[in-house]
Amino acid sequence: MERREAIVAVLRRAGRVLAVRRGPTVPRPGYWQPLSGKVEPGETQEQAVVREVFEEVGLTVCPGAKVWESETDDGCYRLHWWTADADSGEVVPDPVEVAETRWVTPTEFLALEPVFDGDREFFERILPTL
């Protein structure tokens, strides 16, 4: 099976990162994670960051830098982790994909349950170096 490409948007605002809890109709419902989504054919990773963030939480963002790569735990997706600064608008979750949102510190994210191992690794190992 061919591995697909996806982005992870590490949205930052006032020293916090946006965490989303996966909605009931998507795979692995209930998991907390940074916002993520597939890169569509013909789309750059930066374009995917802007589109996915707007679709899932209604925010306009400016992609910063690609800071890490990882794989999903099932090996189906290569994840390209991007920082992005969120505008000051209100978070409006897409109820199909997002059950809940929270602006959290890295420590608060690590206390959420459940989270994916790769996300935990990012918050423990990568984010403190940014």
**Residue ranges per structural domain of the chain:** 4-129
Write down the pTM of the prediction: 0.94
The stretch 5-18 carries a mean pLDDT of: 95
CA 83/CA 85 separation, integer angstroms: 7
The stretch 24-45 carries a mean pLDDT of: 96
Is the pLDDT at 1 greater than 60? The verdict is no
Residue 37 and residue 112 in contact, taking contact as beta carbons nearer than 8 Å: no
Task: Domain 4-129: give its CATH superfamily.
Answer: Nucleoside Triphosphate Pyrophosphohydrolase (3.90.79.10)
Mean residue pLDDT of the chain comes to 95
Phi, psi dihedrals of residue 129, rounded to the nearest 5°: -90, -5
